[in-house]
Amino acid sequence: MASETFVSQEVGVQVEALRYGEITPQLVEQWADLEQRSTESNAYLSPHFILAALRHLPPQGDPLFLPVWWRKDTTALLVGMGVFVERTAHRRFPFRHLAAYRCEHSYLTGILMDASCEELVARAYFEYFGSAPWHGVEFVNRVAGGVLDRLATASDNAVPLRWYEYEHSQRATLIPGACGEEYLAETLSAHRLKKLRAQQRKLAEQGSVEWRLSLGDEVLPAAVEDFLLLEDTGWRNEQGTSLRSRPGDADFFRDMVDSFRRDRRIFFTELLVNGKVLASTSNLISGRAGFAFKIGWDPEYGKFSPGILNELELVRCARKRLSHLDYIDSGAVADSFIDSLWGARTTLTSGVLVASRLARRLLPGMSWLRTLKRHLQRAN
């Protein structure tokens, strides 16, 4: 399926179905503009991220791009963008379905929707999904509580899609406007804060300590290469999971960073001693939100916890340097070291917008059987 158009019941709204080869520079420009006014910020849905991933990373299938257009008079405004791949049955959803695109470096999925007409856009997607041949649409790690959830539980929904959740979690989030020394005193125990300050003093004994935050075009190619070198050390290198250890991953990172940098939508933080970078973080910006991407640190200085000290300085300085951001998504799994430093939480949900009657009938029983199986396994 390619170059097909679905006309929504919403006046003037159309959902277009495109394949990768049909994505034009003009659409990419409109896509990037939509990202900045989307009701939910998401750097992992940015054209800067997705197109770099498609250029360099192993394919996840033939992506289906679903732009939503709102046509008024002779003009057409891009008001929605979703990228999906077709999937066969799996254990959690044993039916043919679409899945929101995510590569191995994606930490959040969803749909970009113009904040000025998000419900109109969401209804157009619901209509499209309900008329398509798939049994549902899967989202892994989507922010809970948005317009998709509201429509999925609304009794007046014209297309009866329902949200079937199979997992939810909490993710650490930082609110720059709330940061500073008082925040650290409230978030960390006195013992932990005292220990971190002691590590800072011991690190200062090694030489001149510097911390810097580089924003937009201040992120120089040397900082990108320093980051890749640090991220390639320690256990990531040993397990073969670092960006430099796998073909295409480092090129993806350089390409993606360069695209975000041209829009001044990226920042790095670095901790240095005598000019040597000991820890580095790469962070993306989408709309009014930041997204912590990956981190690296020098294991030779592990006793000083340079990675944690780097994050500590970010917490101290975020209110002053990143006041234009409403929040920063850590991208971290639960119980990560960042949990104790970043006190706010975002609720994520994983599941399927169920479209077919067959799936809606069978899923409750299958869910009950899985629950029974878990109880029996615990009992034994």
Within its chain, how far is the Cα of 241 from the centroid? 19
> What pLDDT was estimated at residue 37?
97
Beta bridge partners of 85: 99
Whether 157 shows a pLDDT value over 70: the answer reads no
Amino acid at 244: R
Domains 4-171+347-379 and 176-325 share a fold: yes
Residue 368: pLDDT band with limits 50, 70, 90:
very low
377: pLDDT confidence band, cut at 50, 70 and 90? Answer: low
pLDDT above 70 (res 349):
yes
Whether the predicted pLDDT of 183 surpasses 50? yes
Mean pLDDT value of segment 157-179: 90
Among residues 298, 307, 263, 308, the alpha carbon closest in space to that of 284 is found at: 263
Considering just the CA atoms, what is the radius of gyration of the chain in Å? 22
Is the model's pLDDT at 308 over the cut of 60?
yes
What proportion of the chain, given as a percentage, has pLDDT over 70?
93
Backbone angles phi, psi at 378, to 5 degrees: -70, -35
| Predicted confidence (pLDDT) at residue 78 exceeds the cutoff of 70 | yes
DSSP 8-state secondary structure symbol assigned to residue 203: H
> Which class would CATH give 176-325?
alpha beta
**With bands split at pLDDT 50, 70 and 90, how would you rate the model's confidence at 375?**
very low
pLDDT of residue 1: 46
pLDDT of residue 240: 86
- Look up the CATH architecture of domain 4-171+347-379: 3-Layer(aba) Sandwich (3.40)
| Of 346, 349, 308, the residue nearest 328 (C-alpha) | 346
Average pLDDT over residues 148-177: 87
Enter the pTM of the model: 0.92
At 373 the pLDDT is 44
354 beta partners: 136, 162
pLDDT class of 358 with cuts at 50, 70, 90: confident
> Do β-strands 64-72 and 276-286 pair in parallel, antiparallel, or remain unpaired?
unpaired
Confidence at residue 372, expressed as pLDDT on a 0 to 100 scale: 40
| Mean pLDDT, residues 200-218 | 96
Phi and psi for 344 in degrees, rounded to 5? -75, 160
Q: Residue 8: what pLDDT?
A: 78
Residue 374 is predicted with a pLDDT of: 52
Q: Which residues pair with 237 in a beta bridge?
A: none
CB 299 within 8 A of CB 322: no
Lowest mean pLDDT segment, chosen from 106-115, 201-210, 295-304, 362-371: 362-371
Residue range 29-70, pLDDT digits in tens: 999 999 999 999 999 999 999 999 999 999 888 999 999 999
Percent over 90 (pLDDT), the chain? 78
Distance CA 124, CA 66 (A): 11
Q: What tokens appear for 164 in the block?
A: 């079937």
**What is the residue-averaged pLDDT of the chain?**
91
84-113 confidence digits (pLDDT tens): 999 998 888 889 999 999 999 999 999 999
Q: Please identify which residue in the block is written with the tokens 């590590």.
A: 199
Contact of 332 with 174, CB cutoff 8 Å: no
List pLDDT tens digits, range 213-256: 999 999 999 999 999 999 999 888 888 889 999 889 999 999 99
Predicted local confidence at residue 3, as pLDDT: 65
Residue 163: pLDDT above 70? yes
Domain boundaries, the chain: 4-171+347-379, 176-325
Rounded Cα–Cα distance for residues 11 and 16 (Å): 15
**SS3 (DSSP) at 70:** strand
Return the pLDDT at 367.
55
Question: What per-residue confidence (pLDDT) applies to 85?
Answer: 96
Q: What does the pLDDT read at residue 334?
A: 85
Tokens at 199, concatenated: 């590590």
Q: How many residues does the chain have?
A: 380
Q: What is the pLDDT of residue 365?
A: 56
User: Of the ranges 61-65, 149-153, 261-265, 311-315, which one carries the lowest mean pLDDT score?
Assistant: 149-153
